[in-house]
C-alpha cells in the first residue's frame, strides 16, 4: 500500500509539474505582452493596419489576415487530399498497400519544417513565378507547403475515425442495396464526422503555428494580401523575423502577438476536445 501511494504521489507531482510549466509560460507571455496591448488598445492592436515599430505603431491586422489566408489555403489543399487518402487506405487499398502507405505518411510528420521550406524555396517558388506570375514568394506557396505539412494529422486521425465505424453500418447499407461508394459517402463518413472534424481542427492549429517553412516561402511583406500570388507575412513569421533584434515596446508587441496566437490555438484545441468528447459519447 505504501509503495502504491508513493507511486500515486510521484505521478501526481509529475503531472502538476507539466501543468506548472505551461502556467509559467503563459504568465511570462502575458506579463511581457499585456502592457503594450493596454497602451495601444486591444482593438487598435489587432485591427491596426500599420506595423512600424520604429515609430511606435503596432497593428497586426496585415499579419493576422496573412495567417488566415495561408491557413485557409492549406486547409483547401490538405483536407480533401488527406480525407481522400484516409478513405483509400481504409476502404479500398489491400492490406499490404495500406501497411506501406501508413509509415510513409508518418515519415512526413518527422521531416523538419526547414526542409519543407527549402524545397518550397528552390522548387515551388520558381515554378509559381514562371507559370503563374508574381514574385513566387506568395500566399499560394505558403498554402501548398502547409497543406502538405498538415497531411499526417488529417490522414492519421481520419483513418482512426473511419476504422472506428462499426462494420454493421457497412453491412446494413450494402444489404439495402447501396453501392460501396454510396455506403462510404452516406453512412461511413457521417458516422466518422466528429473524428474527421477534429483532425481538421488539429491540422488548422498546426498550420497557424508553423514558422520556419512559412518564413522561407511567403515573402514576408507587411500588407493585407489581395491575391493568392501576393506576398504576405504571418503572425508567427513576424515573431520569428523580428524577435532577434527587438527591444522595448517592439519586443512587448511581439509578445502581444504571441498572446493573440495563444488564444487562437487555445480556441482550436478547445473545439477539437469538444468534438472528440462528442465522438466518444
Domains recognised in the chain with CATH numbers = 51-280 (1.10.3720.10)
pLDDT on residue 178: 85
Q: Which three cell numbers stand for residue 92?
A: 479500398
pLDDT on residue 143: 94
pLDDT on residue 206: 85
Q: Are 236 and 261 in contact (CB under 8 A)?
A: yes
pLDDT on residue 221: 86
Q: Are 203 and 150 in contact (CB under 8 A)?
A: yes
pLDDT on residue 272: 67
Cα 102 to Cα 151, 166, 206: the distances in Å are: 12, 21, 20
In this prediction the pTM is: 0.85
Q: φ, ψ for residue 6 (rounded to 5)?
A: -60, -45
Beta bridge partners of 219: 232
pLDDT on residue 118: 92
Q: How far apart are CA 269 and CA 190, in angstroms?
A: 22
Region of 220 please: left (phi>0), alpha (psi -120 to 50) or beta.
left
Q: How far apart are CA 135 and CA 116, in angstroms?
A: 19
Q: How far apart are CA 157 and CA 150, in angstroms?
A: 11
Three-state DSSP class for residue 218: coil
H/E/C letters for each residue in 180-211? HHHHHHHHHHHHCHHHHHHHHHHHHHHHHHCC
Low-confidence ranges of the chain (pLDDT < 70): 1-2, 272, 275-281
Burial class from Cβ neighbours inside 10 Å (0-12, 13-18, 19+) for residue 17 reads exposed
Choose among 157, 159, 256: nearest CA to 204.
Answer: 157
Q: How far apart are CA 99 and CA 116, in angstroms?
A: 25
Amino acid at each position: 500500500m505504501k509503495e502504491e501511494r508513493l507511486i500515486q504521489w510521484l505521478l501526481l507531482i509529475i503531472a502538476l509539474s507539466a501543468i506548472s510549466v505551461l502556467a509559467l509560460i503563459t504568465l511570462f507571455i502575458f506579463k511581457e505582452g499585456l502592457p503594450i496591448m493596454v497602451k495601444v488598445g486591444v482593438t487598435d492592436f489587432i485591427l491596426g493596419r500599420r506595423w512600424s515599430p520604429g515609430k511606435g505603431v503596432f497593428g497586426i491586422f496585415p499579419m493576422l489576415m496573412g495567417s488566415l489566408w495561408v491557413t485557409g489555403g492549406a486547409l483547401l489543399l490538405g483536407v480533401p487530399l488527406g480525407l481522400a487518402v484516409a478513405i483509400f487506405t481504409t476502404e479500398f487499398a489491400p492490406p499490404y498497400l495500406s501497411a506501406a502507405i501508413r509509415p510513409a505518411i508518418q515519415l512526413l510528420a518527422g521531416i523538419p519544417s526547414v526542409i519543407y521550406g527549402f524545397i518550397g524555396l528552390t522548387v515551388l517558388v520558381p515554378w509559381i513565378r514562371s507559370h503563374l506570375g508574381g514574385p513566387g514568394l506568395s500566399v499560394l506557396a505558403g498554402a501548398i507547403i502547409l497543406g502538405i505539412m498538415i497531411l499526417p494529422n488529417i490522414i492519421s486521425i481520419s483513418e482512426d475515425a473511419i476504422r472506428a465505424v462499426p462494420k454493421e453500418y457497412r453491412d446494413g447499407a450494402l444489404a439495402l442495396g447501396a453501392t460501396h461508394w454510396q455506403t462510404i459517402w452516406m453512412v461511413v463518413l457521417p458516422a466518422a464526422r466528429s473524428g474527421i472534424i477534429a483532425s481538421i481542427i488539429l491540422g488548422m492549429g498546426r498550420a497557424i503555428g508553423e514558422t520556419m517553412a512559412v518564413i522561407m516561402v511567403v515573402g514576408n511583406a507587411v500588407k493585407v494580401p489581395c491575391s493568392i500570388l501576393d506576398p504576405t507575412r504571418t503572425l508567427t513569421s513576424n515573431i520569428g523575423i523580428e524577435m532577434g533584434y527587438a527591444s522595448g515596446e517592439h519586443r512587448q508587441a511581439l509578445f502581444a502577438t504571441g498572446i493573440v496566437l495563444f488564444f487562437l490555438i487555445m480556441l482550436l484545441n478547445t473545439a477539437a476536445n469538444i468534438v472528440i468528447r462528442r465522438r466518444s459519447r
